[in-house]
A and B are shown apart, each in its own frame.
Chain A
Amino acid sequence: MQRVVRAAAALAFVVAVSVSAYAVTDGSGDPTAVKNDDGKWTDKDGNPTFKVDADGTVDWYTYSGFIRYSSECLRCHGPDGMGSSYAPALRQSMQRLSYAEFYATVAGGKKDVTASQELVMPANGENKNVMCFIDDIYIYLRARADDAVDRGRPQKHAPKPASFTKAEDACMG
């Protein structure tokens, strides 16, 4: 199973390489982290992104995103962004969704109602447990889409930045 996914990911990777100058790309372009603001990284276009060290240590936001994804999103989208019988695999969706599109869908929701299936994503705009951590969730899923982190809990992560705690307290109230 893992092999199959990896093969598919490798194939997607090859396709991506053939059309892009970057090693890896997703819905927001090249995810390479270029700027660090107290442990929160952004790419060259200013989109939030992940930073994984050579020894596998992930930045705090990727880790926090895993925690929040697993609490708020897993019950529909399955573990690790892998999808389920109920909702799509965000690991794949993020290969085409930009940061802005992701943000809009999470906050505003989405309906895809057909004769055989009714897929409805709720609007989370009022949900603090999601919106206070939307960048974290984005960064985690972006890392999953780009195969930068494996399934399951990231084993090593950077310490929690002071600015994160401050922002969390302010947002959660």
Chain B
Amino acid sequence: MRLASAGFWLAITTTLSSGLLLAPANAQNAGDPLTLQANPANVASPTVSYDNHRYSALDQINAQNVGKLQVAWTFSTGVLRGNEGAPLVIGDVMYVHAPFPNTVYALDLNNDGKILWKYEPTQDPNVIPVMCCDTVNRGVAYADGKIFLHQADTTLVALDAKTGKPVWSVKTGDPGKGETGTSAPMVVGNLVYVGVSGGEFGVRGWLAAYNTSDGKQAWRAYSEGPDTDIIVDPQKTTALGKPVGPNSSLRTWQGDQWKIGGGDTWGWLAYDPKLNLVYYGSGNPSTWNPKQRPGDNKWSMTIWARDAKTGMAKWVYQMTPHDEWDYDGINEMILADITVGGKQVPALVHFDRNGFGYTLNRETGELLVAEKFDPAVNWATKVDMDPKSETYGRPLVVPKYSTDHNGEDVNTQGVCPAALGSKDEQPAAFSPDTNLFYVPTNHVCMDYEPFRVSYTAGQPYVGATLSMYPPPGQTNMGNFIAWDAGTGKIVWSDPEQFSVWSGALATKGGVVFYGTLEGYLKAVDAKTGKELYKFKTPSGIIGNVVTYEHAGKQYVAVLSGVGGWAGIGLAAGLTDPHAGLGAVGGYAALSNYTSLGGTLTVFTLPSQ
């Protein structure tokens, strides 16, 4: 691992000295994310590293001794809500965030987690009901002595990391129209990037870059609209190797519908320093009623690669044209150099809500692999991989499961996955040691009935009724899987009673960590998936597991606090409309296992 670190350093130095990179002016500064990420003692970014590997070079805790793990200390976030994301650790200070009201704490790791400062913004509580599915926040970013937070009310604030005092703040959106902030910012050089939530309110999604020094907007790129709004070059921006052409988005919408077209951008962001590209996904088109918005609805449901400095899109790939199931395409992009078809490829690996695991060339956007990462997935037979085909790159939809084909006021039954996807925002991990991806998944199907709705700004704009249940004959609602992205195959799969809604962590110690909705922190063997350790935290886990080192000792930390879509959809248990009463097991109520919480639990090995 040390070697890997050294290699990483070498890569940075090489890039800088060769000047190939539009290098952030301060990349060599001690406070730059890239520099901080290179030290595995830190948790420098909300995604741990720009490449979204969620892999740690620390190996004090390993497959042999992880069974002895014990709780070192705990900390209450003070908010009994869905606690997503993970704390940052920069040197001797840990930064812990909370759901609405979006409190941020700086904790002194040299002094038993004493609170160095606390930031608690005053926000209009009327923002709460326009947050679809809980008042979560996925964390803060750090760079050059500042903490960046995107609050629920879409205030982007830069705090002095030493004092917690705001340095500047800027409003990025309008909660009155349903725009809210839930996702974690990312900093590259002198720009901080944020996206927006609000797909269930008809919010037109965007990714925006602000200057880290003063909060001035550098660019804003929408998911839908005219070419200038979405920042594409009709000739140079490509989709599956071909120029997108003029009005690539407008052509795929009826009239002005793109203005309330969704495609929100609330997922994790990724960055490739060598290509200087920022990667993210845009979400579901609004409404959930596909009949009401004919066309491909570009560029909702799309993987974006944008120039970090200008926002210009280099390539796009729309995974689910004309969504009919709310397969919100925001899940993280994992940037890994892996072998595909015998060749080493600069890959982007993405586990979409729609149940397909995609591998693309992250430089060109070429589609390399698209395979189901849950065998239950049935809405499409496959993704067309034939470049000569008219439907190249598109999923081949099964008419029986097409809610558009079946139409309004018709209940389409047995669609897998459900709207929460085969995987939601909970991020996967990648280990360069095993070359495997570790993916927290949902194993849930649904009935979906679209109907006509009217749009009112700031009001929900949904237009579908759905009910969820495990795949026929099965009792588990989740799996934790290891995936080979080169071939698109599941290597091992650990069934879980509930959906796995926690971000995974892979380590040099040969251990992979994740949390469960009942509240267990689990450690499994990276090679086999064998369970090595579990501990039940105070509440269900929808946060991401991280690891850091302090004073020579490795720690593992995770937020518990059930909520989010999982807490809403699964709290009461699922019902099987086709099985009648008395169903158990897969239909168990999460509320019988865990209750609201908001606690950080930190683990370590006992002192020798």
Taking Cβ atoms with an 8 Å cutoff, the residues of A that contact B are 1-2, 4, 66-68, 70-72, 74-76, 78-80, 82-86, 89, 109, 111, 113, 115-122, 124, 126-130, 150-153, 155, 172-173
Contacts and interface: CB of A to CB of B under 8 A. Distances in A.
A173 B125 contact: no
- Of listed A66, A118, A124, residue having the most chain B CB within 10 A: A118
Interface stretch (B56-64, B385-393, B423-431, B581-589): B581-589
Contact of B567 (A86, A124, A130): A86
Contacts of B562: 85
Contact of A85 (B567, B582, B587, B592): B567
A75 B567 contact: no
B56 to A, nearest CB: 30
A86 B454 contact: no
Given A75-B568, A82-B571, A84-B572, A120 B467 contact: no
- Of listed B128, B411, B574, B596, residue having the most chain A CB within 10 A: B128
Given A80-B575, A152-B575, A153-B447, A118 B467 contact: no
6 closest A-B pairs (Cβ-Cβ)? A85-B567, A82-B572, A122-B129, A70-B465, A120-B128, A84-B568
Contacts of A74: 465, 568
Nearest to A6: B581
Contacts of A71: 451, 453, 460, 462-465
A155 B413 CA distance: 13
Interface string B2-27: 00000000000000000000000000
A143 to B, nearest CB: 16
A109 B127 CA distance: 13
Interface residues of B, number: 57
B100 interface: yes
8 contacts: A1-B573, A67-B449, A80-B575, A117-B80, A120-B125, A120-B126, A128-B454, A151-B575
B569 interface: yes
Interface stretch (B132-140, B342-350, B474-482): B132-140
B581 A76 contact: no
B467 A70 contact: yes
Contacts of A127: 456, 459-460
Contact of B125 (A89, A118, A153): A118
- Of listed B82, B200, B453, B574, residue having the most chain A CB within 10 A: B453
B125 A111 contact: yes
A153 B453 contact: no
Contacts of A4: 592
Contact of B128 (A1, A118, A153): A118
Given A1-B573, A79-B467, A86-B567, A116 B453 contact: no
Nearest to B289: A71
A79 B79 contact: no
A111 B463 CA distance: 26
A163 B392 CA distance: 48
A85 B82 contact: yes
B186 interface: no
B466 interface: yes
- Of listed A67, A79, A85, A172, residue having the most chain B CB within 10 A: A85
B79 A116 contact: yes
A165 B582 CA distance: 36
B271 to A, nearest CB: 32
Interface of B: 78-82, 100-101, 125-126, 128-130, 132-135, 200, 411, 447, 449, 451-454, 456, 459-468, 562-563, 567-569, 571-577, 581-584, 587-589, 591-592, 596
Contacts of A118: 100-101, 125, 128, 135
A75 B133 contact: yes
A85 B465 contact: no
A119 B572 CA distance: 19
A127 B129 CA distance: 13
A152 to B, nearest CB: 4
B39 to A, nearest CB: 36
Given A86-B81, A122-B126, 5 more contacts: A4-B592, A80-B572, A111-B125, A122-B129, A126-B459
Contact of B596 (A75, A85, A130): A85
A159 to B, nearest CB: 13
- Of listed A70, A84, A115, A155, residue having the most chain B CB within 10 A: A84
A14 B449 CA distance: 37
Nearest to A69: B465
Given A1-B588, A124-B459, A85 B563 contact: yes
A113 B125 contact: yes
Contacts of A155: 577
A86 to B, nearest CB: 5
- Of listed B126, B447, B467, residue having the most chain A CB within 10 A: B467
B571 A84 contact: yes
Nearest to B101: A118
B573 A128 contact: no
Contacts of B574: 79
A1 B592 CA distance: 8
Given A128-B456, A152-B467, A85 B571 contact: yes
A153 B577 contact: yes
A72 B462 contact: yes
Contacts of B571: 78, 82-85
Nearest to B126: A120
A148 to B, nearest CB: 15
A24 to B, nearest CB: 20
B498 to A, nearest CB: 13
Given A75-B200, A79-B467, A85 B129 contact: no
A78 B572 contact: yes
A129 B466 CA distance: 16
B575 A79 contact: yes
A86 B577 contact: no
A155 B581 CA distance: 13
A121 to B, nearest CB: 6
Contacts of A152: 467, 575-577
B466 A70 contact: yes
Contacts of B80: 116-117
Given A1-B592, A82-B571, A85-B82, A150 B581 contact: yes
Contacts of B460: 71-72, 75, 127, 129
A89 B591 CA distance: 12
